[in-house]
Chains A and B, each alone.
Chain A
């Protein structure tokens, strides 16, 4: 359980635009162990998707480029410097990816079968028939009825949830060691979301693959993830296991995220909580803590100096000056995990 499959160290990714450089990912580090489910959480534009797609080198270059840092996959592949031809051997074979919108991520002019089979044939060769049988096996594994018939269908004949199942089948085609799910449920109905999450969890238990689950919804990850990384403005602000993040989080941004998860037991008159303000402009990131402008506990130091990660426990750390021994003690607000009364 503790052999790392992926070690990301100080990864920096920027986009070169006419107006300047957008620093989408500004030094992200994390380790993913074999068989582990790691969730990356944060609001839109915090760099979580860019981080994930950089691990598969799917971000178009230009305009993006890897400015610094390393990402070592399976102890031997240094992804940030790999050639495209070498990446092609790893993609699909050792890592698979599920995208956000199943309505647009399947090719409309190819049958579901062709789209599953082409990856299998590319990496494992073998006869058309063998690949087809594998595709049928995959489709039944992701819970599709009549898999042999589904192979001949086109994406537009399937519902959103079914398409996402097909996407999962494509990603799993070659038994990858790492599965990256980039907001796999965001574009789906709530009931379907639950089914897809359940499916991912089931697959994880069956195959023991490592999963990086990217989402902006903490509710989605609670049941499935082992560890959670909270990202803000291109940086990791807090990292810990599920219990530490849900019950003992230390970063005010994590508190804000937890507070914005809607709950069933809140009364009808309470308002949905949100974090006031907007994320900083990544053309020119602030000098101090990127969250300081929106943080109710911001101190002088927060505006001037970016906080280091402070260790809370072996598995838990947060980048916030409140954790400094000299900082005033701030109690974790009681209403975290619920709603504020408005």
Chain B
């Protein structure tokens, strides 16, 4: 288990290094620079001073080596948009809102998705199945940038049930979390349904039945635990889904989170901010994947006990 963990950590670092490198050079390929656009052009002299101050006049590979060196020490540089703030401090301020939104939407998605999937499987080819499958189909086919504004408009503006945007009290969390969870609900429902249907036909379910256990007991102890296994494996990719979803959803609902920050940074060519955020997102993802694997081994004893090999 220890060697496995260490090897995984090494792979994680390599992955992150590749991501930083690719992002860094892609940023350099972008037209324009952080110091204003064609209209607000600074005089060439001021520009030269600015560039020299940020080291942008050096050759690209030199900039790269310097940047990597800083990153290795945990310093993601200074933001170009907010010259007084480091990228790390911006991430620190924006992170809580994003994490909260992500977790809330994951919780909604897991609870609703799994329940819908289980209901669909137990009511296979009956009304319950069709309803759940329909919800899943809607969830997967309507993107969050459509459902977000719709929710904001109808529930927030028309019906005035919930605030249509911003991030103040608890009631402000509901709409963005729901908008963000919808596609995840859809994925989880479909996955859980298929997995349950598969498990229901297994021999050990017949064994459980032959012991005289009640249906509720069989569903609870024998079906769900086995059916949830393959679903746990996709929690990593699902976290990706939620994470990329925050980019759009935070923007729509004006949530002061990382996703929103990311979009703003792209508008203003904030190199360090973009690279830093990309690295941060990638880091979160890689760590989540890692924990998914660990979690999986806790649920499935066949994997947990394979550690001797």
A68 contacts across to B, CB distance below 8 A = none
**B211 close to chain A: CB less than 8 A:** yes
**A6 close to chain B: CB less than 8 A:** no
Total contacts A-B at CB 8 Å? 82
B302 contacts across to A, CB distance below 8 A = 108, 154, 156
Give CA–CA (A101, B207) in the complex, Å: 11
Give CA–CA (A99, B203) in the complex, Å: 8
Of the residues B210, B213, B217, contact of A56 by C-beta under 8 Å:
B210
Q: Are B301 and A154 in contact (CB under 8 A)?
A: yes
Given A88-B212, A93-B212, A154-B302, answer yes or no on A109-B206 (Cβ-Cβ < 8 Å): no
B222 contacts across to A, CB distance below 8 A = 107, 110
Give CA–CA (A105, B209) in the complex, Å: 11
The 0/1 profile, CB within 8 Å of B marked 1, for residues 48-65 of chain A is 000000001010000000
Q: Are B212 and A104 in contact (CB under 8 A)?
A: no
B221 contacts across to A, CB distance below 8 A = 110, 118
A118 contacts across to B, CB distance below 8 A = 211, 213, 217, 221
Q: Are A167 and B207 in contact (CB under 8 A)?
A: yes
A108 contacts across to B, CB distance below 8 A = 204, 226, 300-302
A89 contacts across to B, CB distance below 8 A = 212
Q: For residues 252 through 309 of chain B, which have their beta carbon under 8 Å from a beta carbon of chain A?
A: 299-302, 305
Instruction: Find the B residue at minimum CB distance from A154.
Output: B301
Give how many A residues have a beta carbon under 8 Å from the other chain's beta carbons.
33
Q: For residues 209 through 263 of chain B, which have their beta carbon under 8 Å from a beta carbon of chain A?
A: 209-215, 217, 221-222, 225-226, 229
A122 contacts across to B, CB distance below 8 A = 211-214, 217
Give CA–CA (A84, B231) in the complex, Å: 31
Instruction: Find the A residue at minimum CB distance from B225.
Output: A109
**B197 close to chain A: CB less than 8 A:** no
Q: Are A173 and B211 in contact (CB under 8 A)?
A: yes
Q: Are B204 and A58 in contact (CB under 8 A)?
A: no
**A3 close to chain B: CB less than 8 A:** no
Q: Are B212 and A109 in contact (CB under 8 A)?
A: no
**A289 close to chain B: CB less than 8 A:** no
Q: Are A109 and B300 in contact (CB under 8 A)?
A: yes
Instruction: Find the B residue at minimum CB distance from A167.
Output: B207
The 0/1 profile, CB within 8 Å of A marked 1, for residues 190-213 of chain B is 000000000000111011111111
Q: Are A107 and B208 in contact (CB under 8 A)?
A: yes
The 0/1 profile, CB within 8 Å of A marked 1, for residues 109-149 of chain B is 00000000000000000000000000000000000000000
B215 contacts across to A, CB distance below 8 A = 84
Give CA–CA (A92, B302) in the complex, Å: 27
Give CA–CA (A106, B222) in the complex, Å: 10
**A203 close to chain B: CB less than 8 A:** no
Of the residues B206, B217, B299, B305, contact of A99 by C-beta under 8 Å:
B206
Q: For residues 68 through 92 of chain B, which have their beta carbon under 8 Å from a beta carbon of chain A?
A: none
CB distance from B184 to the nearest CB of A (A): 25
Interface centre among A90, A106, A118, A171 (most CB of B within 10 A): A118
Q: Are A170 and B211 in contact (CB under 8 A)?
A: yes
**A240 close to chain B: CB less than 8 A:** no
Instruction: Find the B residue at minimum CB distance from A102.
Output: B203
**A177 close to chain B: CB less than 8 A:** no
CB distance from A155 to the nearest CB of B (A): 9
Q: Are B213 and A88 in contact (CB under 8 A)?
A: yes
Give CA–CA (A97, B203) in the complex, Å: 12
A91 contacts across to B, CB distance below 8 A = 209-212
A115 contacts across to B, CB distance below 8 A = 207
Instruction: Find the B residue at minimum CB distance from A59.
Output: B206
Q: Are A170 and B207 in contact (CB under 8 A)?
A: yes
**A119 close to chain B: CB less than 8 A:** yes
CB distance from A49 to the nearest CB of B (A): 11
Give CA–CA (A38, B50) in the complex, Å: 95
In the assembled complex, 24 residue pairs joining A and B whose CB atoms fall closer than 8 Å, in A order, are A56-B210, A84-B215, A87-B212, A88-B214, A92-B210, A93-B212, A97-B207, A104-B203, A105-B203, A105-B204, A106-B207, A107-B226, A108-B300, A108-B301, A109-B229, A110-B222, A115-B207, A118-B217, A118-B221, A119-B213, A122-B212, A122-B213, A157-B305, A167-B207
Q: Which residues of B contact A (CB under 8 A)?
A: 202-204, 206-215, 217, 221-222, 225-226, 229, 299-302, 305
Question: 5 tightest CB-CB pairs across the interface, nearest first?
Answer: A92-B212, A119-B211, A91-B212, A92-B211, A105-B203
In the complex, besides A115-B207, A122-B214, 16 extra interface pairs with C-beta distance below 8 angstroms are A87-B212, A88-B212, A91-B209, A91-B210, A91-B211, A96-B210, A106-B204, A108-B226, A108-B300, A109-B225, A109-B300, A118-B217, A119-B211, A122-B212, A154-B302, A170-B207
